[in-house]
Structure 1
């Protein structure tokens, strides 16, 4: 392969990489690797629930509840396995090999879900979950390893990388939606075309990183003394064991998965709190503040992650997608969130800076995020009660479009500060463990999102009445949680002992 494309290391151990547009050259390689991986993930994600109903329930709306619960469990396990993927990279085979192995495993999963069998479909999802666990946390870690802790460009580098995530998420539903519509045939049904495109996208990501990783030099290589192939083979065996375990979890009732995740979460929180008590009063209080916010994070994602489940069925059956003779495809709604992030994120960054000393505290930002999420459901309540066309029994296109925009505004008040909050509040010896708690709280929220979406659809499929009842509950739950968080924010701030 030749020598790695880096210059001698600087004093802090970070290689002096060639620079492109003011950033280390490998950043752009990681940007495109992540772009294609997100293309694969979001390219197939919008189709999952629709495919389950069409393929395994012959299009009968009674399959919507099962599809939503399966979707929620899938997202939950995607987040949960990321905890183990980070450990594998840190302690066993290094980041580069973890990313490559995760990419190959994920690609196999995408091609497996093309097989029109429910068992193979669940096996494919389980394979994607395990591959994603090895890939997703570790490529983000690689970005951080390109910069010294004191490098002022660090946040900017992560911002560029974050744009790669959202660029992939934006174009994927559009392109795979067009492929599903234009190139479907009896030999290649619409959803099969979607999954094939996603698999090809994952292969592109794999090949891109395979050839680009030499730019990283020693960054992300295996730990000292672990350079041999033996450990890789051991991880491969672990993957082969993990896939059936995840398959089993995907096959059982979503409520059982919820109990398993909840037990892990409670145990992890106890361990963090015990360590906080050991470190003293300040650490104990900060740990408690962080764990309180984790609970509200669960609630936010429970309602936010309706995009691939109940909102999909809403868009398919109850939203008027006819825009002057041109039909807006169901999957394209899921491109609204990433493009809204790209547009709104700089505005929010400017706003927090502009507010200066009046910048809301961490718990109040979370409260604003919950309330904004609730306002999105309020708009749906209004549309389903007052804007239903009596002839077509549909609501206007703009209502669901704006729901995604409003939810994105809520996400920007909450999600970007979550990881930063953990690094500030967690006891020093268990920051990684606490980060696992953040991911687990998000996983539990995602699992609950599928269960909630199943209730919105009911036993016979979504109707205007069932959607209105479910989304009304969502509004009041989010509003209540947001107001409660605002009220207890002074208490949480005291527990944070000056952390902003």
Structure 2
């Protein structure tokens, strides 16, 4: 269909509804935490950012175990179905206005997402041969599915929460979470009825076809949910130490497997781990969208257009609109460039640099564009920040998914995909810590935002330039992988 395997479109829609659920709650989480558990006091912004960053970090870190469960125990199809059920349960739990139940709900979402997210991405890779030239294009199409779901969910959930079941002054956040849970159930049903098209791709390994293997995974999930709850309770700083140790352990396991497969496989693993490290930096600053950028939009951006105010939630859709608009252009550009197509490391370098340019715009806006009457910066500045970041994301994220399936040891592709998400998770946890610093102890101000975003600019530009310089070395380690 359109030059790609038919199951790609089934996976596209499954991921569309899962992302509807995931991004539907993204805009509301930190605002809800401040309103519900801190009485609306701005001093709760740092704590909310830490919780948000830790939650996202564990969502992505959980992908390691989900990838391993799919690789070795229940297969990719059953992992996706099991994860969808657990995620839906967690989304409905966080609708209850109790902090302990809320945190247990977040823990449940984390475990479910760990089984779902890495494995549906791995399934896309399994639709293509290793040398199939459609592979990168297929991942880009799949990435558009992610962003279509992410685009419409903030708009729909905001209207439900602030126009139908609540007001701008008192949003009905629980409706956001319930709508996300319904979206997750649709994702589950879509995959359940569409999986026949896969014709055995992602089925359990021989010897694990019985439901006993699924029961074992469910028991492990029942143990993992309280563990995730405890990790959330430990705080972002302690969690950062744990995640770093996990990343080191994962790297060692992948290296051992690479060495076992030979020098070429070993070098590919080394190249992949280096890129993982730069991926951490990218997501540390990109993921301000759900934390400090939300507070920035709510308090320091002029969102007024006459009698109408642009909803804070809708900023979450700007990134997705930009991705959907620009993804076909970049996909065409990579093919058009032919041999001049930038290498994978240099595409990552471009991703970091564009992310840095977004922070440069904020740095300039906060230094010289603040309206003295309102103490706010123009609407277009934050809007363009999301657009510029989207260009960087397109240079990095879909290429990263494809890269893992090309560089990972053959027996541990799902585990390596979990490693990709773990590096993203580490970046997300750091994003919460960074956002907490930007907000300070009393809530975000123009001065605190300017200082934090200036730091972000210099770190991103420095990392991007460094990656460009060492790109030839990394490309050599990749042994011809494009």
* Residues 354/215 of structure 1: CA separation in 2 closer, same or farther (3 Å cut): closer
Q: Pick closer, same or farther for the CA change 1:101–1:269 going to 2, 3 Å.
A: closer
Query: In the alignment, which residue of structure 2 is the partner of 1:48?
Result: 29
Offset at 1:226? 3.2
The answer to whether structure 1 residue 338 and structure 2 residue 320 are counterparts is: yes
Q: Distance in 1 between matches of 2:481 and 2:134?
A: 23
Instruction: Give the unaligned 5+ runs of structure 1.
Output: 1-19
Cα distance in 2 for partners of 1:45, 1:141 equals 24
Paired position in structure 2 for 1:196: 178
Q: 1:285: Cα distance to partner? A: 4.1
| Among 109, 122, 142, the residue aligned to 2:103 | 122
Which has the larger displacement, 281-290 or 322-331? Answer: 281-290
Alpha-carbon deviation of 1:93?
Answer: 2.5
- 8 Å CA contact 1:85–1:137 kept in 2: the answer is yes
Hey, what's the Cα distance between the residues in 2 that align with 1:409 and 1:146?
27
Q: Which residue of the other structure, out of 380, 383, 390, is the alignment partner of 2:365?
A: 383
Q: Indicate conservation of the 8 Å contact 1:183/1:193, yes or no.
A: no
Q: CA deviation at 1:168?
A: 0.5
Matched, 1:483 2:479: no
Is 1:438 matched up with 2:425?
no
Aligned counterpart in structure 1 of residue 440 of structure 2, from 455, 458, 465: 458
Q: CA deviation at 1:488?
A: 2.6
Superposed displacement of residue 157, structure 1: 4.5
Which structure shows the bigger proportion of residues in helix conformation? Answer: 2
1:314 aligns with 2:296: yes
The CA deviation at 1:289 is 3.1
Deviations 1:86-127 (A, max 9, x none): 222333233333222211111111110011111111100111
Residue 108 of structure 2: SS of its match in structure 1?
helix
Residues 444-482 of structure 1, C-alpha deviations (whole Å, 9 max, x = no match): 111101110010001110000000000000001111111
Q: Residues 150 and 88 (structure 1 numbering): CA distance in 2 closer, same or farther, change over 3 Å?
A: same
**Match status 1:300 vs 2:282:** yes
- Return the alpha-carbon distance in structure 2 between the equivalents of residues 258 and 373 of structure 1: 23
Compare 424-433 and 107-116 and name the one that shifted more. 424-433
Normalised TM-score (structure 1): 0.89
CA apart distance, 1:498: 4.1
* 1:194-273 pair list within 5 angstroms: 194-273=176-255
**Rounded Cα–Cα distance in structure 2 between residues aligned with 1:371 and 1:291:** 20
Matches of 1:389 and 1:420, distance apart in 2: 45
**Counterpart secondary structure, 1:250:** helix
Q: Aligned-residue CA RMSD in angstroms?
A: 2.4
| Comparing 149-158 and 77-86, the one that deviates more | 149-158
Q: In the TM superposition, what are the counterparts of 1:339-418 in structure 2 within 5 Å?
A: 339-418=321-400
**Greater mean deviation of Cα atoms: 54-63 or 490-499:** 490-499
Q: Aligned equivalents of 1:437 and 1:408: distance in 2?
A: 23
1:129-148 paired onto structure 2 within 5 Å: 129-146=110-127
Q: CA deviation at 1:353?
A: 2.8
Q: Report the Cα offset of residue 283 of structure 1.
A: 4.5
Shift of residue 34 of structure 1?
A: 1.9
Displacement of 1:50 after TM fit?
0.7
Corresponding residue number in structure 1 for 2:73 = 92
Q: Give the structure 2 partner of residue 74 of structure 1.
A: 55
How far residue 435 of structure 1 moved from its aligned partner, in angstroms, is: 3.3
SS in 2 for 1:395: coil
Q: Is contact 2:326-2:391 (8 Å) kept?
A: yes
Distance 1:489 1:331 in 2: 38
Closer, same or farther: CA 312–282 of 1 in aligned 2, 3 Å: same
| Pair 1:129–1:430, CA change in 2 (3 A) | closer
What is the CA-CA distance between 1:85 and the residue it aligns to?
Answer: 1.4
1:22: Cα distance to partner? Answer: 5.9
- Counterpart check, 1:29 vs 2:21: no
Distance change >3 Å, CA 84–CA 284, structure 1 → 2? closer
- 1:149 and 1:292 map into 2 onto residues whose CA distance is 22
Deviation at 1:412, TM superposition (A): 1.4
Structure with max Cα Rg: 1
Counterpart selection for 1:62 from 43, 51, 66:
43
Distance between the aligned counterparts of 2:480 and 2:210, measured in 1?
47
With the length of structure 2 as denominator, give the TM-score of the two structures.
Answer: 0.92
2:151 to 145, 160, 170: 170
Mean CA deviation greater in 345-354 or 257-266? 345-354
Map Cα deviations across residues 356-382 of structure 1 (whole Å, 9 max, x no partner).
333322222222211111110000001
Of residues 287, 305, 313, the one that matches 1:323 is 305
Q: 1:339 to 1:134 in 2, by over 3 A?
A: same
